[in-house]
């Protein structure tokens, strides 16, 4: 049982930094921030969950069954992640590429303390065992003194390395194009890792910096012991609200321009770009097919096709697909039927994942997985882990990966340029936060 209390407090940057600073005392922390994007389907402006009462941590083997049992048993708030490699529990697949991060494949926890923010209020949900700490915690948060975070220190510059060389990238994309030409697949998301070894960063300062320059609708700060995810994701994977399920795949990217008129031209060009539209429509169709596995007959609908949305770093093409599901379908069953998300795999999905595994040089791990939460009633909301810095503090290993959809119309040089554009914000943060 939980004790709840609503307090009046405006959600601004100051309280965000204070509550995140206060949260660092705990081994388990998840902060989810919409950054004031008025997402049609969002329920909260921001959420904080800290301090595990119970948890589940497992490899991919029977991961969804274990998660389903855990969620059905607790019927409480749960926060955590599924790595991309949980795909191995869905299909007969494997993940044998190099892994410098060593994140568990699946990790969820039942927090003792949950904070739900609206524009003007915060509602605290504390397990009864700690409800006597509620008032003291909130006062401690308000009293937190914030020092100027040094997020631009270059005293010890970080050396960023590429797991896949530029020449190797071109070779691999051309091999993927040969698969497409043979008809093995018609689209696949090909990714590459940027990394730094023997490197320490300040995770909180890095997240604050990344969030400030990106302001995405699905920002996440995750800390599970020595594992950190600092995410500036613009993409929702899947949300369930009652009997309604929504997915919002992203495919199609254009850079922002300083000059407003040039920026508008980029929007128009993206909107009319047949290659980008084709990529988006292919994946939208894949998402429709995935949702049809769990949807009530005839309920799958494309709410918006190839909508253009503008973010701090890029313009993106986003589609919204929705359906209704029977109450007999469990929340985890819905996730399993659609995982991993089509925007990070390709089509046909299984063939694409096999080719991805063969050609990529790094295990994806949490990258292109999902971070999110379950409500006590089984509703859920998960992002897609892209535009994210991943950090293992015990290994001193920092990583961020980027990728793009390869289709028959892909030009390897342009795909490489798109990867560099997507990596720009993460690279700026990593190179500016070494300690």
Catalytic residue status for 293: no
The catalytically annotated residue of 223, 251, 349, 363 is: 251
What length does the chain have? 435
> What would the pLDDT profile of 51-63 be if each residue is shown by its tens digit?
999 999 999 999 9
Q: Which domains does the chain have, with CATH numbers?
A: 2-431 (3.60.120.10)
% of residues, the chain, pLDDT over 90: 93
User: Model confidence at 149, in pLDDT bands (50, 70, 90)?
Assistant: low
Summarised one tens digit per residue, pLDDT across range 203-216 is: 999 999 999 999 99
Whether the pLDDT of residue 71 is over 60: the answer is yes
| Mean local confidence (pLDDT), 288-317 | 96
Q: What is the pTM of this model?
A: 0.96
Answer yes or no: is pLDDT of 191 > 80.
Answer: yes
Asked if 175 is an active-site residue, the reply is no
Whether residue 237 is predicted with pLDDT greater than 90 in this model: the reply is yes
Q: Say which of 28, 187, 193, 235 is annotated catalytic.
A: 235
For the stretch 352-397, pLDDT in tens is: 999 999 999 999 999 999 999 999 999 999 999 999 999 999 999 9
Band (131; pLDDT cuts 50, 70, 90): very high
Question: Which pLDDT score, from 0 to 100, does residue 36 have?
Answer: 87
Q: Are strands 314-324 and 250-255 parallel, antiparallel or unpaired?
A: antiparallel
pLDDT at 4: 96
């Amino acid at each position: 049982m939980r004790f709840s209390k609503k307090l009046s407090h405006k959600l601004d940057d100051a309280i965000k930094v204070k509550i995140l600073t206060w949260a660092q005392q705990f081994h388990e922390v998840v902060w989810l921030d919409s950054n004031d994007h008025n997402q049609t389907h969002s329920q909260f402006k921001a959420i904080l969950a800290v301090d595990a009462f119970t948890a589940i941590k497992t490899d991919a083997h029977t991961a969804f069954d274990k998660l389903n049992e855990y969620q059905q048993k607790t019927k409480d708030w749960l926060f955590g992640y599924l790595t991309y490699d949980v795909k191995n529990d869905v299909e007969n697949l494997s993940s044998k590429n190099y892994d410098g991060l060593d994140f568990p494949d699946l990790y969820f926890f039942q927090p003792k303390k949950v904070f739900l923010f609206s524009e003007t209020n915060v509602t605290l949900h504390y397990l009864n065992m700690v409800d006597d700490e509620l008032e003291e915690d909130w006062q401690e948060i308000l009293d937190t003194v914030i020092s100027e975070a040094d997020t631009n220190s270059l005293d010890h510059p970080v050396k960023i390395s590429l797991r896949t060389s530029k020449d190797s990238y071109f070779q691999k994309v051309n091999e993927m194009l040969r698969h497409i030409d043979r008809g093995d697949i018609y689209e696949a998301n090909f990714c590459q890792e940027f990394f730094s070894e023997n490197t320490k960063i300040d995770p909180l300062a890095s997240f604050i910096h990344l969030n400030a320059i990106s302001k995405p609708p699905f920002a996440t700060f995750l800390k599970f012991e020595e594992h950190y995810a600092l995410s500036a994701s613009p993409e929702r994977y899947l949300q369930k609200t009652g009997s309604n399920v929504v997915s919002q795949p992203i495919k199609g990217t254009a850079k922002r321009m300083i000059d407003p008129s040039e920026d508008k031209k980029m929007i128009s060009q993206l909107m009319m770009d047949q290659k980008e539209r084709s990529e988006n429509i292919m994946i939208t169709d894949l998402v429709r097919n995935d949702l049809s596995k769990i949807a009530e007959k005839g309920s799958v609908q494309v709410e918006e096709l190839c909508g253009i949305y503008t973010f701090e770093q890029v313009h993106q093409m986003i589609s919204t697909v929705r359906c209704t599901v029977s109450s007999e379908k469990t929340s985890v069953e819905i996730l399993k039927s659609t995982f991993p998300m089509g925007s990070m795999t390709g089509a046909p999905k299984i063939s694409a994942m096999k080719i991805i595994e063969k050609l990529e040089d790094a295990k994806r791990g949490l990258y292109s997985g999902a971070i999110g939460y379950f409500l006590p009633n089984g509703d859920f909301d998960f992002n897609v882990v892209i535009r994210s810095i991943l950090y293992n503090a015990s290994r001193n290993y920092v990583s961020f990966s980027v990728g793009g959809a390869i289709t028959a119309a892909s030009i390897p040089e342009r795909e490489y340029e798109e990867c560099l554009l997507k990596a720009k914000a993460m690279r700026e943060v990593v190179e500016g936060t070494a300690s």
